[in-house]
Amino acid sequence: MTKRSTFPDPMEIWNHLEQHVRGQEHAKREIAVAVYNHYLNQHLFPEISPVGQHLLLAGPEGVGKTFLVRKTADFLGIPWIHVDASSLVQPALSGQALQGITDALLHKTGGDLKLAQHGIVLIDRLDHCLRSSSSPGDPGIAVQDAIVTLMDGVVLRHKEEPVRQLDTSRLLFICSGNFDWLQTVVTERLDENSKIGFQIDEDPTESTHIRDLIQKSDLVALGLGEELASRFNKVSILNQLTTEDLVHLLKEMKDGALPQKIHFWATHGIELNFTEDALSAIAEKAQEAGDGARGLSGVLEKVLDPIDHLIVSIAKQGVHRVEFTREHIETGSSPIRITKADVKKDQNVDLLLESVWSGFQSLPLKDNNFIPIESAIQAMPLPNVIAALEQLELSMGRLSLTSDQDKTWRAIRREHAGEGHRVLLQLLARVQQANASLSYLCDSIQNSSGDILAALKRLEDSQR
């Protein structure tokens, strides 16, 4: 967050999101208002738990639900965590979901309870934890009950300093999921002869927006429990991104997949260029895959597949520009290579590779703990590595670790700060390939006296 002397008002938050998120005007406005109201209420009513400003974001994959929350938290300079609701099923059934979520938030803040108190908890894929039966042991309801308990408030006190505490009722909870049948549920509830016009668009009109008609009963009909459904102040519906939206994201998002690729190739002395038609073709392929903005990176990787392994050799051949047209995107063929006859072979590539290699030599890794890192992980920007590591941790059971396993993993994380995150990402990738969990890895590390490489070998051998 930039240095400032006042808390941003809703329009400032909205304007910040407008710079980073394409479309979704109503969702940006509702998040801005919810965040402003939440933190002002926390300041104005420190002795009580104000009415929650919790949000439910409904929309397809890749439309920006997680990105909106991340950009909001980054702007405010506050911690946030992303929790996959489906990963909470087993912890919820065993009564450990509450501890798992709060531990994840404390882990994000380095154990700082005061900072954690200002956090945002994003619980994604809530539509994967809906009520499936009326039995008391329904797994979806178990997860929902755990979320309600956290929203209503659990007070955690610091073991060594009891005066320091975290009250979860003062956290902002944002839940999200596809909920693609929400409009159907609402329309079926209304009188079939109603003349109200429904739409989910971005331009105000005289007809009624579906979001204005959503009631708690509609959420219950979807499979949410009445308790959780009543906790949401707003339900915001996000639209599927159009091809034009995806082209805009490719061209304008500074931290998107395409600018990263362009920069990566530029470091090798090669200008990576796509015609307007080529960008449209990439957007169309992502649209067809149904992954929205999230699918752009995967399409780009496939587009570059014919030449990405040749990047060093063509740089040394004097190629200074590579250009893709629509035909190259649609056929998967190699792009146009442009070489200037009067340009000497680029010597900067050798300097770049020497610099990367020297960094390897200075890594403070013990020989017996050295894990070879794949080139794809090595090429990733460090913030992306850290984000990928945190996501992989959650998918492999980070929230269900026992206290001893959690202590082991925290120690490993502390020992591998900075560039060491690449080692941990590679480690978890290999553990996942062995069909093992994070808890299994932690047990293996404990049994190997902290020797990561020995633990990995033991784990991989046991899975063969």
Q: What confidence tens digit (pLDDT) does each residue in 336-390 have?
A: 999 876 555 556 777 778 777 776 654 444 443 467 888 888 878 887 888 889 8
User: Residue 368: its pLDDT value, please?
Assistant: 38
**Domain assignment present for 251:** yes
Residues 227 and 273 in one domain: no
**Domain assignment present for 208:** yes
**Domain assignment present for 64:** yes
Q: Among residues 154, 150, 146, which one has the least CA distance to residue 90?
A: 146
Residues 258 and 294 in one domain: yes
User: Residue 404: its pLDDT value, please?
Assistant: 83
Residues 224 and 251 in one domain: no
- The answer to whether the predicted template modeling score (pTM) of the entire model surpasses 0.75 is no
Count of alpha carbons within 13 Å of 158, Cβ hemisphere only? 14
**Domain assignment present for 356:** no
Residues 391 and 335 in one domain: no
How many CB atoms are closer than 10 A to CB 24?
A: 26
Q: What is the pLDDT of residues 44-69, one digit of tens each?
A: 988 877 778 999 999 988 888 999 99
CA–CA gap between residue 220 and residue 218 (Å, rounded): 5
Residues 228 and 88 in one domain: yes
Q: Over the chain, what HEC string results?
A: CCCCCCCCCHHHHHHHHHHHCCCCHHHHHHHHHHHHHHHHHHHHCCCCCCCCCCEEEECCCCCCHHHHHHHHHHHHCCCEEEEEHHHHHHHHHCCCHHHHHHHHHHHHCCCCHHHHCCCEEEEECHHHCCCCCCCCCCHHHHHHHHHHHHHHCCEEECCCCCCCEEEHHHCEEEEEECCCCHHHHHHHHCCCCCCCCEECCCCCCCCEEHHHHCCHHHHHHHCCCHHHHCCCCEEEECCCCCHHHHHHHHHHCCCCHHHHHHHHHHCCCCEEEECHHHHHHHHHHHHHHCCHHHHHHHHHHHHHCCCHHHHHHHHHCCEEEEEECHHHHHHCCCCEEEECCCCCCCCHHHHHHHHHHHHHHCCCCCHHHCCCCCHHHHHCCHHHHHHHHHHHHHHCCHHHCCHHHHHHHHHHHHHCCCCHHHHHHHHHHHHHHCCCCHHHHHHHHHHCCCCHHHHHHHHHHHCC
**Domain assignment present for 355:** no
Q: Among residues 164, 73, 159, which one has the least CA distance to residue 112?
A: 164
Below-50 pLDDT ranges, the chain: 1, 193, 195, 201-208, 362-369
Residues 103 and 222 in one domain: yes
User: Residue 127: its pLDDT value, please?
Assistant: 93
**Structural domain of 331:** 243-348
Residues 280 and 400 in one domain: no
Torsion of CA 276, 278, 281, 285, to 10 degrees: -130
User: Residue 99: its pLDDT value, please?
Assistant: 73
Give the CATH number of the domain where residue 319 resides.
1.10.8.60
First and final CA of the chain: distance in angstroms? Answer: 48
Residues 51 and 185 in one domain: yes
For the chain, what is the domain count? 3
Of 219, 237, 255, the position where a domain reaches its end is 237
**Domain assignment present for 384:** yes
Of 348, 372, 402, the position where a domain reaches its end is 348
Residues 143 and 179 in one domain: yes
Which residue pairs from 27-34 have beta carbons closer than 8 angstroms and sit at least 24 positions apart in sequence? 27/57, 27/59, 27/64, 27/65, 27/68, 27/236, 27/237, 27/238, 28/68, 30/55, 30/234, 30/236, 31/55, 31/68, 31/69, 31/72, 31/174, 31/236, 32/72, 34/172, 34/174, 34/233, 34/234
Residues 108 and 179 in one domain: yes
Residues 308 and 326 in one domain: yes
How many CB atoms are closer than 10 A to CB 341?
A: 5
The partner residues of 336 in beta bridges, in order of sequence, read 323
**Domain assignment present for 248:** yes
Q: Among residues 315, 316, 308, 317, which one has the least CA distance to residue 335?
A: 308
**Domain assignment present for 5:** no
User: Residue 342: its pLDDT value, please?
Assistant: 53
Residues 80 and 184 in one domain: yes
Of 237, 272, 289, the position where a domain reaches its end is 237
